[in-house]
Amino acid sequence: QSALAQPASVSGSPGQSITISCAGSSSDLGVYDYVSWYQQHPGKAPKLMIYRVGDRPSGVSTRFSGSKSGNTASLTISGLQPEDEADYYCTSYTSSSAFYVFGTGTKVTVL
């Protein structure tokens, strides 16, 4: 089971919006809505930002939103802030033998 494909890096200026893509297949993103997104700062544990494609846990800023179309999921960060600089990972349930598969990770840089 290959990891879900994410761009290695995405950057933006404060206040801008950026979108991170997560490309999967008909074994995962194409058939299941179990897609989550995690933010990870250096040396820290990942933090759940989005689950079930577009739901936000309590306490997560409304600047974070998720969507899915076909085999690709997306995380959009609106009004980019310096504290958003981190690594972001998508994950999905998969019908393959891996059960859960993570994305390759995207480093977000705030210019």
Partner 1 sequence: QVQLQESGPGLVEPSETLSLTCTVSGDSVSSDTSYWSWIRQPPGRGLEWIGYIFHTGSSNYNASLSSRVTISLDTSKNQFSLTLSAVTAADTAVYFCARDRMGATFDHWGQGTLVTVSS
**Counting contacts by CB under 8 A, is residue 23 touching partner 1?**
no
Q: Mask 44-83, x = binds partner 1 (CB under 8 A)?
A: xxxxx--xx----x--------------------------
**Counting contacts by CB under 8 A, is residue 31 touching partner 1?**
no
Closer by beta carbon to partner 1, 13 or else 45: 45
Closer by beta carbon to partner 1, 17 or else 109: 109
**Counting contacts by CB under 8 A, is residue 88 touching partner 1?**
no
User: Longest Cα pair distance anywhere in the chain, in angstroms?
Assistant: 41
Minimum distance between the CB of residue 85 and partner 1, rounded to whole angstroms? Answer: 17
